[in-house]
Amino acid sequence: MAKRFLTDINLTGNQLQNATLVGTTFEKLSADPITNLFEGRVYYNTVDDGLKVYDGTVWKSVGAITDVVAGTDIDVSVVDGVATVSLEAEISSGTTGNAATATKLATARAIQLSGDVTGTADFDGTQAINISTTIAANSVNLGTDTTGDYVAGVSASDGIAATGTGESASVALTNTDKGSSQNIFKNVSDGTTSVVADSNNDTLTISAGTGISVTASPSTDTLEIANTGVTAIAGTTNQVEVSSSTGSVTLSLPNAVIFPGSVTLNADPTQPLHAATKQYVDGAVSGLDWHPAVNLFADTNVNLTGSTNTLVIDGHAPLDDTDDGYRVLLTGQSTSSENGIYEYLDNGSTYTLTRPEDADVYTELVGSSVFVMEGTGYGTTSWVQSNHYISDFTGQNWVQFSGQGTYTEGNGLNLTGTVFSIDTTVTADLSTPQTLTNKTLTNPSVSGLYLLDNEIVIEGDPDTSETRLVFTNPTDDRTITFKDASGTVAFTGDITTAIDALSTTDIEEGTRLYFTDERAQDAVGLNITGSNSLAATYNDGTGNFTFDTTLATTSYMSKTSGLTVEIAAVETKLVADGFTKKVSANVGNAINTSFALTHGLATRDVQVQVYDSATYDTVECDVVRTDANTVTVSFSSVPTTDAYRVIIVG
């Protein structure tokens, strides 16, 4: 990749030697550039093998005239690189070729036509040629561009006869099928679509339809269209009445209608005289606003559009085109305004969920109730939207108020429908031995032994006599162990007094020494020592330990308020020892061409590199080490915002 220079290159009078055109001043191209044009741009044209320069408007070839050769009757002079070409006063060249000044031929010439067309005219160049022609009799074949009353031949088609040919002939066309006066329909229409007879062999076919038959008789030239569908309609007493007259049949309900089975309505009533569904009546009684039942319920996020036509909700088989119109209730959308009632639509390879007419306005959901018909977890449950203060689809609060999910059996219980019973396979009585796990017992009592908070209480005889073992709110795990105990462990009188009365003579040491404060302090003190970085001291008299951090003679750490690094001292040391430090920054603000960067390295001995922030190419620009803490970079044109990254190492 070519390196870009973002500022002028000053060779200060030095030569550019041993360089090709590409990579120095010029680039090689096979055609004139049409972008990034500016006055003075130069390139080498590999087709013309020459330099070209853009003058601000057009590309012009560049190069001095090296040689101009004069010809017969032409003078050439060159002065200061300018060549002048002129004609001599008298030209002696021959006139072979085009004559620019001749007005008349020396000898007139005849122009003649021969063959079936004849004619002659003289031409000497002084005027236009006008030839009068004569056509020989019966010598010209008439073509499509010839006018006149002449018909060479006429061709007939099926059902048409043609007569009359020759010069001044009259052509007659005759319909040989039906006669010239026969009236024939060309088009047949049903009022919307037309059948067009576009050839003599077209046949109009009348096809039978549902309940209609068509029979044709070639011998009698008849076409019979008959009814083969419903031929009779009978009514049912107290259900449907039938009356008929010529051409029509009337079906009506009697004044009193008896239905032999149950009647299912597909929607709740919306008008005063509409029939009411049971769910509508139940809802009205309970104060609920029932909507048509939904098929499925989802309390987790569901995509409203799918890249496939597969959608599974609550364990239901994937929805497809047979489930178009399936209603679903969504309550767990990640965007709460998407909650509500939807209908499923299979688009072939994708699906969409859209709000139905009864739930496409948020006010229709205030107090609304729906019944869920299907689903593994939520089938046969009922839900109500309980937030009466929603101002849009956001904030819906769907609450279950009936159905299989209303109650859940716990441990030791069975649930059948809405009836709870004890699970006899689980031990839950007072007499059978049982292991309790993760149970909290409040003030339990077992045969005279019971617990009170941090106390173990053993009742005596009589019950008013008690022995209490009290644990004062421990802050850590504690263990009481009787090692190798045999016989009876007895405490006489007050245990505190008894323990305080013990002395070293009362306790046999053997190999297990008893510990006094001094022994304990000595034992611990002997086992704690310091290190190169940590000093440890022990005061035997007070039993106190002191720990302190050990710092090197030359250290960049401070322990006045915890161990901290002395940043200034470290930086000073790094500079003194010659360690390099890097400072970097973006430059470019679409306004300025020069930018001063403060690096704070306290030296002009720094390296500066600039690269393009977008392509990461190293670029060249003007770099000035302004002072010991500042570097200034400059560009010939204004760079865009943060166009370049400047790295300073010193």
Where in the chain are the domains?
1-64, 278-403, 441-478, 581-649
- What is the pLDDT at residue 181? 46
Give yes or no for a contact between 196 and 186, defined as CB atoms under 8 angstroms apart.
yes
Confidence tier at 273 by pLDDT (50, 70, 90): confident
- What is the pLDDT at residue 275? 81
d(CA 623, CA 610): 10
d(CA 180, CA 160): 10
- What is the pLDDT at residue 176? 66
- What is the pLDDT at residue 96? 58
- What is the pLDDT at residue 559? 74
What tokens appear for 198 in the block? 């576009």
d(CA 595, CA 587): 7
CA angle 531, 537, 540 (to 5 degrees): 145
- What is the pLDDT at residue 359? 95
- What is the pLDDT at residue 631? 96
d(CA 30, CA 230): 85
- Reply yes or no on whether the pLDDT at 136 is more than 50: yes
- What is the pLDDT at residue 23? 41
Element (H, E) at 525: helix 517-526
Element (H, E) at 420: strand 419-422
- Reply yes or no on whether the pLDDT at 168 is more than 70: no
The residue among 575 and 314 whose pLDDT is bigger is: 314
- What is the pLDDT at residue 548? 80
Those residues whose C-beta lies under 8 Å from the C-beta of residue 250, and which sit 6 or more positions away, are 242, 243, 244
Lowest-confidence pick of 56-60, 239-243, 481-485? 481-485
Rounded average pLDDT over 117-128: 80
- What is the pLDDT at residue 600? 87
The residue among 73 and 84 whose pLDDT is bigger is: 84
Closest CA to 385 of 291, 277, 280, 284: 291
Q: Strands 466-470 and 455-459, how do they pair?
A: antiparallel
Q: What share of the chain has pLDDT > 70, as a percent?
A: 70
If you ran DSSP here, which 8-state letter would residue 334 be given?
S
Confidence tier at 502 by pLDDT (50, 70, 90): low
pLDDT digits (tens, 9 = 90+) for 351-387: 999 999 999 999 999 989 999 999 988 888 889 999 9
Q: φ, ψ for residue 456 (rounded to 5)?
A: -110, 120
What average pLDDT is seen over the chain? 78
Lowest-confidence pick of 354-368, 442-456, 633-647? 442-456
Those residues whose C-beta lies under 8 Å from the C-beta of residue 501, and which sit 6 or more positions away, are none
Most confident of 277-286, 492-501, 629-638: 629-638
- What is the pLDDT at residue 179? 43
The residue among 72 and 493 whose pLDDT is bigger is: 72
Give yes or no for a contact between 467 and 458, defined as CB atoms under 8 angstroms apart.
yes
Secondary structure in 3-state letters for 378-437: CCCEEEEECCCCCCCCCCCCEEEEEECCCCCCCCCEEEECCEEEECCCCCCCCCCCCCCC
Give yes or no for a contact between 161 and 153, defined as CB atoms under 8 angstroms apart.
no
pLDDT digits (tens, 9 = 90+) for 16-46: 666 654 444 567 889 999 988 888 888 888 8
- What is the pLDDT at residue 469? 80
Give buried/exposed letters for 627-641 (b at 16+ CB in 10 A, else e): eeebbebbbeeebee
Confidence tier at 202 by pLDDT (50, 70, 90): confident
- Reply yes or no on whether the pLDDT at 444 is more than 90: no
- What is the pLDDT at residue 643? 94
- Reply yes or no on whether the pLDDT at 126 is more than 70: yes
Closest CA to 385 of 343, 335, 329: 329
pLDDT digits (tens, 9 = 90+) for 313-343: 999 988 888 888 899 999 999 999 999 999 9
Lowest-confidence pick of 130-139, 165-174, 483-492, 545-554? 483-492
Rounded average pLDDT over 276-287: 67
The residue among 632 and 94 whose pLDDT is bigger is: 632
d(CA 381, CA 294): 10
d(CA 279, CA 367): 15
d(CA 317, CA 320): 9
Distance (Å) of CA 648 to CA 7, 180, 568, 574, 580: 19, 105, 20, 16, 10
pTM comes to 0.29
CA angle 267, 270, 275 (to 5 degrees): 65
d(CA 179, CA 190): 28
Rounded average pLDDT over 566-580: 71
Lowest-confidence pick of 253-262, 279-288, 481-490, 569-578? 481-490
CA angle 120, 122, 125 (to 5 degrees): 140
Give yes or no for a contact between 327 and 294, defined as CB atoms under 8 angstroms apart.
yes
Give yes or no for a contact between 506 and 514, defined as CB atoms under 8 angstroms apart.
no
- What is the pLDDT at residue 247? 67
d(CA 311, CA 343): 12
**CB-side neighbour CA atoms (13 Å) of 363:** 0
Rounded average pLDDT over 185-210: 78
pLDDT digits (tens, 9 = 90+) for 596-636: 999 988 899 999 999 999 999 999 999 999 999 999 999 98
